[in-house]
Amino acid sequence: MYDWLLFLHVTSAFFLAITVVVLSAPALGYMADGRLLTLASATWGIGGLGTLVFGIWLAIYVKGYEVWDGWVIGAIVLWAGATELGRRAEAGFKAGEGDPTRAQAAMWHWLRTVVVILLLVDMIYKPGH
């Protein structure tokens, strides 16, 4: 069971990474159409739900981990922050070319990228554990 939970959790994390990579195109100036933004939104939805559900399930399942461990709570907070930053970025990318909100959207995207990297670091090193 552990192997499947870990596999599904890591696969979900790859979906989060796909979102970051896909939205880097409009953050770098590519005029994204609705399909690209829909794809990014779908991959974040799948990855976000999967990492949250399977991550909490793993914390409950694995002896030595608890849902209230600092690194688990930190991961949940980072996940929520990345989700909100992404919501703001996607809303800005829907604006027309030259719209000042597109520059803000790029900023929100790069902030989310940093938060996703911090989330990865939290998962690898499990600070405080």
Contacts of 23 (CB under 8 A, 6+ apart): 40, 86, 89, 90, 93, 109
Q: Per-residue pLDDT averaged across 55-75, rounded?
A: 94
In total, how many domains does the chain have? Answer: 1
Note the pLDDT tens digit of each residue in 82-126.
Answer: 999 999 998 888 876 666 788 899 999 999 999 999 999 999 999
Q: What is the pTM of this model?
A: 0.90
Question: In the block, which residue shows the tokens 């919501």?
Answer: 87
The CA distance from 42 to 108, in Å, is 18
Q: Which domain holds residue 117?
A: 2-125
Give the confidence band of 41 by pLDDT, cuts at 50, 70, 90: very high
